[in-house]
Structure 1
């Protein structure tokens, strides 16, 4: 973190302060979030909500634990792995992937106006 720009140091410090409030509680929250995300992705359940949540989780990991892939120097090309997950979640959302083989196909009709949290309403 020593070689990071001031803005990134402040961002990482913010998350360190958030985690320090209750580290065990934060660890359980992240573990439950990852488990819920995994179940939703496997079942194709509430896909749009899962894609947004997964992209946000990947962004937080990339921007804190991976430090935006930095510190950057001459010859540095690695931006970190988590940024790729953000792109994958964006592509999954764009293709409405949960609608084809997931539970969103059946769920979309029943959710009515809340079908946007799934892959959308099917007719």
Structure 2
């Protein structure tokens, strides 16, 4: 599925604070922890717990969120389909980054080991 301009704009304007509780609920329902979720977010973005909290409190858009991020050089190793979109085929950089995060959260909820999620087994 190809992401439309409207889809890309919607992703940019969505707030991290509006999605974060869904991420947390998803992973906790599957027996994973908030700490593990934060570890995954930190691996992708470089944000520690304090910064994650600030971005939530400020109701930062994903556009601002990823402008502030120091994206992990191994992020391009995140591949596959999430929400009907093949990550490696997404053309808009921001939409791709949001889907990277979605995919990592999904892998965490599905019980993958942190070594595999954080792409450190290479």
TM-score interval w.r.t. the shorter chain?
Answer: under 0.3
Question: TM-score, normalization: structure 2?
Answer: 0.27
Q: Answer with 1 or 2: which has the greater Rg.
A: 1
In proportion to residue count, which structure has more helix?
Answer: 1
